[in-house]
Chains A and B, each alone.
Chain A
Amino acid sequence: MVTCVNDAMFPDVGKATLTLLRRLGVDVEFPTAQTCCAQPMVNTGYLDEAVPVVRTFVDAFAGYDHVVAPSGSCAGSCRHQHSIVARRSGDAGLQRAVEEVSPRVLELSEFLVDVLGVEDVGAHYPHRVTYHPTCHSLRMLGVGDRPTRLLRAVKGLDLVELPAAEQCCGFGGTFAVKNADTSVAMGSDKARHVRETGADVLVAGDSSCLMHVGGLLSRQRAGVRVVHLAEVLASTEASAREVAS
């Protein structure tokens, strides 16, 4: 599952996920019928509108062993919210399909560490990096230190601790526009903490949170890049040479 945000806005994250999983020997497919996990509708209160989206989701992903998403938030939505939407639909068939498919959704670091059993994915990323644990990975899925274990095994990567790392960045889906002032106040504190680390790159496992904090850093001309965890883990010495040439 590439996720709608990555599909439409950050295709490189989808490509990096594909590259990484293939390098680790996984048989990966991109079911082209996929769209979105329906979280934007569910979290704004539009449950009826979420029903056809969840239906599309389970149809697209039925029959796979694992559904891997480069997003803690989307994985969390599938695992914790799809059953609510299915119940709302009153459709017993959809409820059964959700019970079957949605629990199989894993966030990238969960899949790498728990299913593949790897921490060193053979990546090379020679940058000073700080990591923001996004709320839904941390508190909804409980991914714990899996992402930082993966990052610590990356060659050349200098991981610096982010102050107040576990505090929300303020994105929050439609919260970012419905409560834009509060969202920006939270994000500004996060951006300040990122700048304090002196890191060149802010890494997280959710593109939407990175889009928010990155948008603030960009406006502040902070010179800090935001990069998805999948892109870091997909990088190798060979791919860096390719880019350089």
Chain B
Amino acid sequence: MSRTFLGTPAFPEAARAALADPQLRRNLAHATGTIRGKRAAVVSELEETGEWEQLRLAGAAIKDQTLLHLDEHLVALEESLVAAGAVVHWARDAEEACAVVASIAHGHGFDEVVKIKSMATAEIGLNEALAAEGIAAWETDLAELIVQLGDDLPSHILVPAIHRNRAEIREIFLREMAGAGRPAPDDLTDEPARLAEAARLHLREKFLRAGMAVSGANFAVAETGTLVVVESEGNGRMCLTLPEVLVSVVGIEKVVPTWADLDAFLQLLPRSSTGERMNPYTSTWTGVTPGDGPQEVHVVLLDNGRTRALADEVGRQALRCIRCSACLNVCPVYERTGGHAYGSVYPGPIGAILTPLMRGVGEDEQVDSLPYASSLCGACYEVCPVLIDIPSVLVDQRAQVVDARRGQVSHVGEAAAMKGAAWAFGRASRLGAVERATGLAGKFLGRRRVDPGGRGVVSRLLGPGGAWSEARDLPAPPRESFRAWWRRTNGADT
């Protein structure tokens, strides 16, 4: 159970491998299509009344205001947590956060923990870090369990096993459950109810045995020191109430000032993520309640690149993200490549901006390829519950990649092409000269075939154009550009 995204190639290459897998394409198209439909149905109920737009504006405003004074809200959160009996740890990066969690487990002599699905702990590679310390971390969310048992990687923020169908899941359960605890029944079928039952039985013994749970949090309320976890399966409720020790790893952008702020988010999140009006389980806890639930509560406040993102004037809006995944489900790129191609626990449009924002650009080709993994169609922005203008951030991140890489060998070709284009577009007479040259070339290029409109077609281009013509024809350049025609006729001959 030690696979990581390390070594994922740059997006175009990783995508090529994913596109070649027809089963993956079918699984993704089916799953994203289903969630898209569910979301559209429950969001349209509120769109009709104008309420949805108001909720989005409120959600975005609360997050922006909080991020503007993040330092103050975090200190307030810490004070409330401590007053409620929790222990607060500050972690600058993944290594520090993992060390805190491991030392708490070691302090109690635990060699295993149960986990609630959490993006923050996936981001810091907590399971792998704990394994290296001799501590087993058991995922208890059904999809995370499938990923963990299959020694696989998550491919979606909300449904990390979205790339698997139920026949594949049955095989994983039959093959792997025995090695991790209670085995799957021999007569297991791929009926969803049977698969869920097998997972429930397998997990039950872990819930009852574990002395320590690890969670993330969807929200952290500063005024009361309350953490909030939103989930669907009840595994979270088990983890939050059964073990004696509870450790929550919380990104610093999860803080909201007041309970009242949850009003907007608890409506925005379930509708945007699972396509439900309300999620089945919303758990809130405030430090330690004597005699009820965990008696030792830790909160690890995690930076790990968030401060870097906050410093980015255009990109900081990405920290509004509430991890709903609506942008993944509508993204035409994600629908075809799946999540693994993004090389991060944060795939899809939000991942394509969060990863470079949190890690910085100009150092890693894989990270730098992510802002380009989009056709800029804008479908993500249209559904984002907190109005993150992902296309604009993508374009800004591209500019940062280019600026960081100016003069580097790997980018010389593209830079020269762009400089050439800028030169030609800088003056109309230069563009006219280029058009005369292509028009001349078109005379020779487009002679073999014509399209249904009677125009010559080019089927094979050389150089960088080869990437175009591998699957696409190109109309032969016209003999006379619009500009040349206008000059000849003064626009009279239409």
Which residues of A approach B to under 8 Å, CB–CB? Answer: 2, 4, 6-11, 14-15, 18-19, 22, 28, 30, 32-36, 38, 40-47, 49-50, 52-53, 55-56, 60, 80-81, 84, 135-136, 138-140, 166-168, 170-188, 211-212, 214-216, 218-219, 223-227
Partner of B494, one of A7, A18, A187, A211: A18
Q: Are B376 and A46 neighbours in the complex by a CB distance under 8 Å? A: no
- Interfacial chain B residues near A40, Cβ < 8 Å: 418, 421
User: Which listed segment binds A: B176-184, B211-219, B292-300, B394-402?
Assistant: B394-402
The chain A residue with its CB closest to the CB of B368 is A45
Partner of B478, one of A11, A30, A166: A11
Given A179-B373, A186-B332, list of 6 further CB < 8 A pairs? A35-B424, A41-B421, A174-B372, A179-B15, A181-B16, A182-B333
CA distance A54 to B194 in the complex (A): 62
Q: Are B427 and A35 neighbours in the complex by a CB distance under 8 Å? A: yes
Q: Does B75 contact A (CB under 8 A)?
A: no
Counting from the closest, the 3 A-B pairs by CB-CB distance are A172-B375, A215-B472, A45-B398
Return A213 CB to nearest CB of chain B, in Å. Answer: 9
CA distance A198 to B181 in the complex (A): 56
Q: Are B332 and A167 neighbours in the complex by a CB distance under 8 Å? A: yes
Partner of B482, one of A14, A33, A56, A181: A14
CA distance A185 to B335 in the complex (A): 10
CA distance A216 to B472 in the complex (A): 5
Q: Does B448 contact A (CB under 8 A)?
A: no
Q: Are B485 and A218 neighbours in the complex by a CB distance under 8 Å? A: no
- Interfacial chain A residues near B93, Cβ < 8 Å: none
CA distance A7 to B485 in the complex (A): 10
Return B383 CB to nearest CB of chain A, in Å. Answer: 11
15 interchain pairs (CB within 8 A)? Answer: A2-B482, A7-B431, A11-B481, A11-B482, A22-B494, A35-B425, A52-B425, A84-B395, A172-B375, A175-B376, A181-B12, A181-B19, A187-B471, A214-B451, A216-B471
Interface core residue of B396, B427, B451 (most chain A CB under 10 Å) = B451
Return B208 CB to nearest CB of chain A, in Å. Answer: 46
Interface core residue of B400, B467, B482, B485 (most chain A CB under 10 Å) = B482
- Interfacial chain B residues near A180, Cβ < 8 Å: 12, 467-468, 470-471
By DSSP majority rule, is chain B's interface helix, strand, loop, or mixed? Answer: helix
CA distance A174 to B473 in the complex (A): 16
- Interfacial chain B residues near A225, Cβ < 8 Å: 451-453
Partner of A32, one of B15, B371, B379, B428: B428
- Interfacial chain B residues near A188, Cβ < 8 Å: 471
Please judge, given known A-B contacts A35-B427, A218-B457, whether A140 and B378 are in contact too, CB under 8 Å: yes
Q: Are A183 and B482 neighbours in the complex by a CB distance under 8 Å? A: no
Q: Does B290 contact A (CB under 8 A)?
A: no
Partner of A53, one of B336, B425, B477: B425
CA distance A56 to B427 in the complex (A): 7
CA distance A90 to B414 in the complex (A): 25
Q: Are B452 and A41 neighbours in the complex by a CB distance under 8 Å? A: no
Q: Are A15 and B482 neighbours in the complex by a CB distance under 8 Å? A: yes
- Interfacial chain B residues near A176, Cβ < 8 Å: 467-468
CA distance A136 to B391 in the complex (A): 11
- Interfacial chain A residues near B332, Cβ < 8 Å: 167-168, 170, 186
Return A101 CB to nearest CB of chain B, in Å. Answer: 16
Q: Does B483 contact A (CB under 8 A)?
A: yes
Q: Are A11 and B480 neighbours in the complex by a CB distance under 8 Å? A: yes
CA distance A6 to B485 in the complex (A): 12
- Interfacial chain B residues near A81, Cβ < 8 Å: 395
Partner of A168, one of B375, B471, B472, B485: B375
Q: Are B382 and A9 neighbours in the complex by a CB distance under 8 Å? A: no
CA distance A91 to B196 in the complex (A): 62
- Interfacial chain B residues near A44, Cβ < 8 Å: 398, 402, 414, 418
- Interfacial chain B residues near A56, Cβ < 8 Å: 425-428
CA distance A38 to B418 in the complex (A): 10
Q: Are B473 and A30 neighbours in the complex by a CB distance under 8 Å? A: no
The chain A residue with its CB closest to the CB of B382 is A139
Q: Does B165 contact A (CB under 8 A)?
A: no
Please judge, given known A-B contacts A56-B425, A171-B375, A224-B452, whether A46 and B482 are in contact too, CB under 8 Å: no
Please judge, given known A-B contacts A19-B494, A45-B401, A56-B427, whether A185 and B395 are in contact too, CB under 8 Å: no
Binary interface encoding of chain B residues 469-494 relative to chain A, with 1 for a CB under 8 A from any of its CBs, else 0: 01111110110111101110001001
- Interfacial chain B residues near A45, Cβ < 8 Å: 371, 395, 398-403
Q: Does B377 contact A (CB under 8 A)?
A: yes
Q: Are B395 and A42 neighbours in the complex by a CB distance under 8 Å? A: yes
Q: Are A139 and B377 neighbours in the complex by a CB distance under 8 Å? A: yes
Partner of B337, one of A135, A136, A182, A211: A182
The chain A residue with its CB closest to the CB of B373 is A179
Binary interface encoding of chain B residues 51-68 relative to chain A, with 1 for a CB under 8 A from any of its CBs, else 0: 000000000000000000
- Interfacial chain A residues near B241, Cβ < 8 Å: none
CA distance A84 to B483 in the complex (A): 28
Q: Are B399 and A184 neighbours in the complex by a CB distance under 8 Å? A: no
Return B5 CB to nearest CB of chain A, in Å. Answer: 19
CA distance A84 to B392 in the complex (A): 10
Q: Are A182 and B15 neighbours in the complex by a CB distance under 8 Å? A: yes
CA distance A47 to B418 in the complex (A): 10
Q: Are A215 and B473 neighbours in the complex by a CB distance under 8 Å? A: yes
CA distance A47 to B399 in the complex (A): 6
Please judge, given known A-B contacts A7-B482, A187-B472, whether A179 and B372 are in contact too, CB under 8 Å: yes
CA distance A170 to B470 in the complex (A): 15
- Interfacial chain A residues near B452, Cβ < 8 Å: 218, 223-225
Please judge, given known A-B contacts A35-B427, A45-B395, A139-B381, whether A175 and B375 are in contact too, CB under 8 Å: yes
Return A235 CB to nearest CB of chain B, in Å. Answer: 12
Q: Are B451 and A43 neighbours in the complex by a CB distance under 8 Å? A: no
- Interfacial chain A residues near B453, Cβ < 8 Å: 225-227
Return A1 CB to nearest CB of chain B, in Å. Answer: 11
Q: Are A33 and B428 neighbours in the complex by a CB distance under 8 Å? A: yes
Q: Are B451 and A218 neighbours in the complex by a CB distance under 8 Å? A: yes
CA distance A49 to B420 in the complex (A): 9
Binary interface encoding of chain B residues 416-437 relative to chain A, with 1 for a CB under 8 A from any of its CBs, else 0: 0011011011111001001100
Q: Does B307 contact A (CB under 8 A)?
A: no
Q: Are A170 and B468 neighbours in the complex by a CB distance under 8 Å? A: no
The chain B residue with its CB closest to the CB of A14 is B482
- Interfacial chain B residues near A170, Cβ < 8 Å: 332, 375
- Interfacial chain B residues near A14, Cβ < 8 Å: 482
Return B299 CB to nearest CB of chain A, in Å. Answer: 39
